[in-house]
Amino acid sequence: MRIAAFNVENLFDRARVFNGPEKDAHKDVLDAHAELNKLFEHEVYTDADKARMLELIDQLGMLKRDEGRYTRIRKIRGLLISRPRAPKVPYIKAKGRSDWVGWCELRTEAVDEVAIANTARMIRDLKADILAVVEAESRPVLLSFQDLMVDRLGLDEAYRHVMLIDGNDGRGIDVGLATRNGYPIGNMRSHVDDLKPDGHRIFSRDCPEFEVTTPGGETIVVLPNHFKSKYGGNDPVSKAKRLAQANAVASYYNRLIADGFENVVVLGDLNDTPDSPELAPLLADTDLKDVCEHPNFTEFEFNVDNGNRGIGTHGLGNDDDKIDYLLLSPALFDKVTLGGLERRGVWPGSRPPRWEIYPELEEKHHAASDHHAIWAEIDI
């Protein structure tokens, strides 16, 4: 059995700020977007809050209307900003969070066609029987993507079972699962409504539990994840959210083991490095084992002179870029026969390229993703 996790960064529609050749040049947009949403959550908007909101709204190109190049103000009810005719100037009308319902969101646009095809090639070449997909828009999109894979790449076999439960992120970046024929998905459990002690939801997306049956009759419980991102700043709030998510997933894992499930997998984009305190509840305080530490895991060393082992899963693959994981219960870890990273659809840098790439990956915006897919083969 081969199991894998891949952050596809949306299959057909991606946040415009992340899309195209300019995507590395807009950290300022992400920072402004994150700060503005934090200000929106204040119970009372002080004069300083209002002044800063106007600065950020202007910076994002939304002073004259609710839509800028990369962002929009999504308004459900109430009024945030008043835009009188000149010579009067726009001003924040809302007095606090209770005066309006809405947020600032990232605008999306279609993913480059070559990038879509390279994503399909990555999934084809992973050859996973169980595939956790991160940042997929919806279940219908996953099914449509399968049709594209069959039509474009001539695949003989698509995934027989595809499941995605809508999570808490309105941008359409959810976690899903696809399994081959002979690996049916049985019981499912969502944690979208699990709360922290302060009453806020734990998960930015979800941590679903999927019970998958193998052809040999074994039950595998798969927990795909996408933890809070560091985009927009790795501030104490971001760290606290990842820590809460790690604690929650660790508790689900411990409960499953106590209930007699020996074969458990926690996988996906955890958005932090192995030495981070935020991931310690999973990596240090449970008996879950990182497949990268297995002797049968191939580290895919590449042409660098700085001592990297090549286990990074994001960007240029440096060791400190390891943020995607495949964590196995001891019963599964002991049965690993092979493991590695699939990088061929990821931009490899240019001087010199760090790994073999698909011939179709001619420019950076043709990349399938910034994330490298991680996989393991298990004799079960």
119 in the same domain as 221: yes
Number of compact structural domains in the chain: 2
Once rounded to an integer, what is the mean pLDDT over residues 228-246?
A: 86
The whole domain housing 341 covers 2-14+111-378
pLDDT tens profile 266-324: 999 999 999 999 999 999 999 999 999 999 998 655 555 555 667 899 998 888 899 99
Is the separation of the CB atoms in 141 and 11 below 8 Å? Answer: yes
pTM score, whole prediction: 0.82
Q: What is the pLDDT of residue 300?
A: 57
Q: Helices marked H in 221-342 — which ranges?
A: 236-258, 280-283, 330-333
Please indicate, yes or no, whether residues 84 and 153 belong to a single structural domain of this protein. no
Q: Residue 237 sits in a domain of what CATH number?
A: 3.60.10.10
Percent of the chain with pLDDT over 70: 91
Query: Do both 342 and 224 map to the same domain?
Result: yes
Q: Are residues 191 and 44 in the same domain?
A: no
Residues 194 and 298 in one domain: yes
Q: Are strands 2-7 and 130-136 parallel, antiparallel or unpaired?
A: parallel
User: Residue 334 gets which letter from DSSP?
Assistant: T
Q: Are residues 283 and 315 in the same domain?
A: yes
Residue 318, classed as helix, strand or coil, is coil
**Same domain (yes/no): 167, 48:** no
Last residue of a domain, one of 84, 108, 132: 108
